[in-house]
Chains A and B, each alone.
Chain A
Amino acid sequence: MFSAYTDFIRIRFLTMLAYRVNYYSGILIYMLNIGVYYFTWQAIYGGQGEIGGFTASQMTTYIAVSWMARAFYFNNLDYEIANDIRDGSIAIQFIRPYNYLLVKMMQGFGEGLFRFTLFMIPGMLIALLLFPVRLPSDPIAWIGFLIMLFFSFLINSQLNLLTGLTAFFVENNQGMIRMKRVIVDLFSGLVIPISLFPGWLSSVMQWLPFQAITYLPGSVFTGRTQGTGILEVFGIQLIWFFVLLIPIFLMWRAARKRLFVQGG
């Protein structure tokens, strides 16, 4: 049975590989994004030493690593689930002896593996050539970052599952999916680091899961969080990972009861 789950990873990886050409343009778009934010921040800094606890050089590294992390953790599980529900093919998922959400996570991970090896790593290499990104010298920062990156994927995918499952309860959740996407990009600290938010908003963010996706791993990579601090921020990720299992479980249970298969 376990080998079936790993097969879902393998098959998704191979399917993605078949469409790899689509992702070459993706690398270009991510480079453009990094470029836009890099030059914007250069202009804002204008020789100032520090803004929101970031030096100009830390900011460059933060932007690059945040976008490349997104290249890895991003997936469309929310759309996939919503589509399965909307066109009624969710019925097929219920006649199989497996857990649908776990299968979705495995497929997401298969996509993640593809994105990591063929999107994030080549993208990072190009970013290194184009922008003055400073890689961490401390191996602990590397290890910490990579582990936290994996949890970024988990937490982002959990939010995707939750958003996708809302299709059980509302007729059309496309708007919700789009809103979630904007919220994750903004509140995870991808667009603006959380320490630059106004005080009240930044303290609200401390109590939401989004910072665990981009801001916390990014702060380890840039060296703003070091030593035991890494364990602390990793702890926050772990807590969110476990806390988010609860609404997923509850929503799944409620969904089972009100499942309405479209198209008879």
Chain B
Amino acid sequence: MKAIEVEHLSKTFNVQKNRDGLKGALQDLFSRQYNQVAAVNDISFSIPAGEICGYIGENGAGKSTTIKMLTGILVPTSGKLNVGGYVPHEEREKFVRNIGVVFGQRSQLWWDIGVIESFGLLRKVYGVPENDYRKRLDELVQRLDLGELLNRPVRKLSLGQRMRCELVAALLHNPSIVFLDEPTIGLDIIVKTEIREFLKDMNREHGTTILLTTHDLQDIEALCSRVIMLDEGRIIYDGGLDTLKSRWGQGTRVTFQFGAACPLERLRTLTSDLQVDWTADNDLHAEVLVPAQLNVSDVLAKVVGQPNIAITDIKITETTTDEIVRQIYRTGSASKPSGADTEGGQPLHV
């Protein structure tokens, strides 16, 4: 069963053009000019029930706009949309009973009243029966360790405390689909980890479908089996995180530090039967790039223990997701990098 289905979805905003100078301002008074800006441009994807999907992209790539269409806040310019069996913007009030939304940058709790009062009000808004509410609240309060926060007014909570309360507020009515728009923004590492653990457990226990946007790729690595990457309103990658890594990752980098000078030629000869690439800044330091299909230990076996090579330090670094994603953002394409000809190449859908 598909929880979310999106076909050829687009959203275009009219953005007023401001002309320069006094003359321009006067002209703007009488005839306004608009630029059409496509925030989301013909995207299609579907997410099966029970999946955690990461939705990533640079600032302004159209992530939030997509989330706002999927949650019924914005009306799409064109395209088809089905979330949990509803067309979000058409049957908004019925539809939103079934979803939970957290915006990391906006609070959905009432500023002036106590946390528990906010929850009680949400119970009534969503029409959750008293018994279900008690059970669910106890479970969430215990899981997220909110005990002593419940009677404080929202304005007196720290960001981490508030974020945990926001999660409870979004989940009290036990939604089957949850949208999280940058849920870990500005949080410290402990709260981040807590929230990730919590989301993972929720997905496992309740089969909740989760769509998550974030700039913290560790969120994605901890939670998502699948990522959708967006650039300038278009999907440039949709598939497993592993696939992305193996296709983009450039293998493993091994850095050697030598006690005595060791010429690069020597190292090249030692590993001549392996397809590896050595570089060095000076005689005391060398770096080798081991492609993904080769074993790092094979390379090490050739170098370590050789007479006249005094190794003082070895450092092995894997290409991180951050590096991969940074590179993709920079080129604006997720096709495999194979030299200069990929620049400006067609985006690849997987």
Contacts and interface: CB of A to CB of B under 8 A. Distances in A.
B60 interface: yes
Contacts of B73: 91, 94-95, 259, 261
B7 to A, nearest CB: 21
B260 interface: no
Contact of A91 (B93, B106, B126, B127): B106
A92 B105 CA distance: 11
Nearest to A10: B121
Q: B interface, how many residues as a size bin?
A: 35 or more
Contacts of B117: 11
Contacts of B107: 92
Contacts of B110: 11
Of residues A4, A15, A94, which shows the largest number of chain B Cβ atoms within 10 Å of its Cβ? A94
Interface string A82-122: 00000011011011111100000000000000000000000
B75 A259 contact: yes
Interface string B152-195: 00000000000000000000000000000000000000000000
A98 B72 contact: no
Contact of B126 (A97, A99, A171, A264): A97
Main secondary structure of the interface of B (DSSP, over half): mixed
A1 B99 contact: no
Contacts of A98: 93, 125
Nearest to B64: A264
A185 interface: no
Contacts of B103: 91-92
A11 B121 contact: yes
B96 A261 contact: no
A99 B94 CA distance: 12
Given A15-B112, A98-B93, A4 B106 contact: no
B113 interface: yes
B72 A95 contact: yes
A95 B94 CA distance: 10
Contact of A97 (B16, B96, B113): B96
A95 B71 contact: yes
Of residues B74, B110, B120, B127, which shows the largest number of chain A Cβ atoms within 10 Å of its Cβ? B74
Contact of A260 (B13, B105, B124, B127): B13
Interface in B92-116: 92-94, 96-97, 99, 101, 103, 105-108, 110, 112-113
Contacts of A14: 113
A245 to B, nearest CB: 18
B247 interface: no
A260 B16 CA distance: 12
18 contacts: A11-B113, A15-B112, A88-B106, A89-B106, A92-B107, A94-B71, A95-B71, A95-B96, A97-B93, A97-B94, A97-B97, A97-B127, A99-B93, A257-B75, A259-B74, A259-B75, A260-B13, A264-B65
